[in-house]
Structure 1
Amino acid sequence: MNTRIKCRYLFRLSRGGLCRSFVQSLWGIVLVLFTEHIHAQDLHFSQYFSAPLLTNPANTGFIPDANYRLGVDYRDQWTTIPVPYRTMSAFGDAQLLRNRLTYGWLGVGGVVLQDVAGSGDLTSTKVYASLAYHQLLGLGSLLSAGFNVGYARKSINLSKLTFDDQWNGKFFDASLPTNEYSAITQTSVSYMDLQAGLNYAYFPNDHIYLNLGFSAQHLNTPRETFYNGDNRIPRRYIGFVNASIQVSSQIIINPNGYYSLQSGAHELVAGGYLQVNLSGDGAQQLLGGIYYRFGDALIPMVGYQLNNLRLMFSYDATVSSLGSNIQHNGAYEVSLIYQGLYQNGTYRREEKKFRCPSF
């Protein structure tokens, strides 16, 4: 986003209301996020595998253990600042034409993403429609390709902001005139957004599953600015690897890795989680694991699965130098995913050949 909005624009900070070091830190953060010449990375979830359509449109309809799924994700970041960052998403996707296409099927879906930040309600809302095709390559692998088209809107409420020239000697008075945002020509901007991706899965037997994916986002480099400039969102490239290994009738290991690159800013996350069979038939599972975002945060994760419903909770414990400025309060995420079947809750015989390791 191309904007000269500074720290005081996004956070309503009274003089003396926050310690000087915290104000200076917020100033540095916001300058990095919102100056004209520096691009920050897109919104993201630490549980990237719980937001499959945002990670890669080729994941649309890629549901090894079901025919359709619905999910929601919620992230709350930096709760110690006056107005934390909140990110929410909801998605749904389904498999189509499994009976009509030879060793393949279509995936269709959609996702809504919203982020709200700061006292000025800096809000980003995106709605995407996704389509993917999945083709079996023999009995042990699958190749997928997908794309999505979205509508995005970003806005800010200037009436909720106060500025240095509105300080009356005792407090900030929003009724006082200000020239701080005279360069802003509009308070909302909208644009079309395009993504595409590839996915490959390898499943040599019922106990091992490997999945590799790559996606390119903002293919059309849309214009996003509150000013008259031509600031463009740079393309973002995402790669990931997921695996599931059943080591016994009680335990499945799921190692994961994720890498994102956008305009020189990069993010690398690696770790894994366990599925523990609590009921013998897999109807109840305990989930637990840990991830590390290199140079930034340690991310413990815990969850519970009951039949087709999975709930996961994670916490980003900041380990970078930023941690001391936010009292080491990072971010927490909650995800809820439901997966279902079309045909009376059972798989056809041929579908069972393509399932992930399961209890």
Structure 2
Amino acid sequence: MNSPRSLLVALLLVGLSSLSYGQDFHYSQFYNAPLHLNPALTGVFNGDVRFMGNYKSQWVDVPVDYQTVTLAVDKQFRKTSNPKGFFAGGLAFNYDNAGDSKLTWLNLDLNGSYTRALSQTAFVTIGAKAAVIQRSFDEGGLRFDRQFDPVRGEYVESLPSQESFDNTSQIFPDFSAGINLRLQSKQTDYLVFRNNRRSKVDLGVALHHITQPEQAFYDDDDAPLERRLSPYVNATLQVLPIVDVVGNITYQNQGAFYDELVGVLGGRIWLTNKLGRQISLMAGMGLRRDARQDAYWPTFEVTYNTLRVGLNYDFNTSAFDIATENKGGLELSVRYIIRKARPLPEFKVCPLI
């Protein structure tokens, strides 16, 4: 190392790599990654099939950036014989790659839920998730202390690391469960979505990694994947015929590794709200706080009928800003909903918004 600044950056990178071993990946737009937030949000939308995608690229200004991708789909299974409730199912694929070690999280989720209408304005959903997770890393990208030549005062790649890992990849099952309560304005039409009553709030909590699966790369080590608790409130308040106030907040706790509060507040304006041409713009500001202030970000969304695209950029304010110069990362979300025409026998099925 040729300067105290470089040494500090290196130490921070090592610390962050070890931290990522114990915690889940997360999105600033957590409200736009519902299946990752709570399996009880499976099927909680107005429509029949929902497609979602998320992408995050973090700390691109340092040599070892982090990238996360989520692709998900969920579907409602409604029956006219059961107007008070319905089942839903979903699939999600997650990929996360972090640091010099290429520490990778790869998993496939199978989600299931049941929603019960308590009234035309209240719905309760219970959900569960079963997943297969692979955790792996690439030893070739790492540097070890035995490869540092104290005489020359530099790292020598040709020196043997003298490290030996029992495994560089682990595959294990994982399970989560949660509950969600949806409160919303009473809708004026059951057959078409007029989007004229938009106030709603989702309150819920999920517990992830219920069985605390083992993820150690050494056979004799004990490194269970800590349980993650994720209570949240996602709300939209219609204040004018064309204006909504949007607020989302979650608290994420995962053992000693992960304890943070994330919130977003913004406003949405509907440029046009005619059937077949419902267009809106949303702008807001987000804040993430753990032991200290961690990051803030401006966020924007564009909605065209059932297509929604969200974009934000995180500005890092933690101790790591010595390397990032306050630059965090870009995050993108895309959602598309398919709504089928409702036959008349389904007229009395309570709709979600």
Return the TM-score normalized by structure 1: 0.86
Q: Secondary structure at the match of 1:54?
A: helix
Deviations 1:13-57 (A, max 9, x none): xx44xx53243244245336527xx97431100100111001000
How far did residue 144 of structure 1 move?
Answer: 0.3
Amino acid at match of 1:31: G
Check the 8 A contact 1:300/1:314 in 2, yes or no.
yes
How far did residue 161 of structure 1 move?
Answer: 3.1
* 1:323–1:100 Cα change, 3 Å: farther
* 1:345–1:99 Cα change, 3 Å: closer
Amino acid at match of 1:55: L
Residue equivalent to 1:11: none
* 1:324–1:171 Cα change, 3 Å: closer
Q: Which deviates further from its counterpart, 262-271 or 126-135?
A: 262-271
* 1:350–1:174 Cα change, 3 Å: farther
How many residues get paired? 334
* 1:105–1:189 Cα change, 3 Å: same
Check the 8 A contact 2:204/2:231 in 1, yes or no.
yes
* 1:271–1:345 Cα change, 3 Å: farther
* 1:44–1:342 Cα change, 3 Å: same
Q: 1:211 aligns with which of 202, 216, 223?
A: 202
Deviations 1:46-69 (A, max 9, x none): 100111001000011111x22211
Q: Secondary structure at the match of 2:348?
A: helix
How far did residue 115 of structure 1 move?
Answer: 0.7
| Aligned 1:297-308 pairs, distance under 5 A | 297-308=295-306
Check the 8 A contact 2:12/2:320 in 1, yes or no.
no
Q: How far apart are the structure 2 equivalents of 1:109 and 1:290?
A: 30
Does the alignment pair 1:273 with 2:266?
yes
Q: How far apart are the structure 1 equivalents of 2:83 and 2:345?
A: 17
How far did residue 202 of structure 1 move?
Answer: 1.2
Q: 2:231 aligns with which of 202, 225, 239?
A: 239
Residue equivalent to 1:320: 318
* 1:274–1:149 Cα change, 3 Å: same
Residue equivalent to 2:217: 226
* 1:165–1:71 Cα change, 3 Å: same
Deviations 1:94-132 (A, max 9, x none): 100342323100110011111111233221101110000
Check the 8 A contact 1:252/1:276 in 2, yes or no.
yes
Does the alignment pair 1:250 with 2:242?
yes
Whichever structure has more strand as a proportion of its residues is 2
Q: Secondary structure at the match of 2:231?
A: strand
Check the 8 A contact 2:62/2:323 in 1, yes or no.
no
Q: Secondary structure at the match of 1:224?
A: coil
* 1:280–1:136 Cα change, 3 Å: closer
Amino acid at match of 2:304: L
Q: Which deviates further from its counterpart, 41-50 or 199-208?
A: 199-208
Amino acid at match of 2:61: T
Q: How far apart are the structure 2 equivalents of 1:31 and 1:346?
A: 60
Q: 1:293 aligns with which of 277, 288, 291?
A: 288
Deviations 1:318-346 (A, max 9, x none): 22333233211112200111111133799
Structure 2's unaligned 5+ residue stretches are 187-196
Check the 8 A contact 2:315/2:329 in 1, yes or no.
yes
Does the alignment pair 1:57 with 2:52?
no
Q: How far apart are the structure 1 equivalents of 2:98 and 2:301?
A: 27
Return the TM-score normalized by structure 2: 0.87
| Aligned 1:8-47 pairs, distance under 5 A | 15-16=1-2, 19-28=3-12, 30-31=14-15, 33-34=17-18, 40-47=22-29
Check the 8 A contact 1:275/1:287 in 2, yes or no.
yes
Aligned-residue RMSD, C-alpha: 2.5
Q: 1:337 aligns with which of 328, 335, 338?
A: 335
Q: Secondary structure at the match of 1:159?
A: helix
* 1:325–1:316 Cα change, 3 Å: same
Deviations 1:164-199 (A, max 9, x none): 4345759755444221x22x2111111101000000
Q: How far apart are the structure 2 equivalents of 1:347 and 1:178?
A: 70
Check the 8 A contact 2:83/2:348 in 1, yes or no.
no
Runs of 4 or more off by more than 6 Å in structure 1? Answer: 344-347
Q: Which deviates further from its counterpart, 338-347 or 310-319?
A: 338-347
Deviations 1:244-268 (A, max 9, x none): 1112222122111111111143111
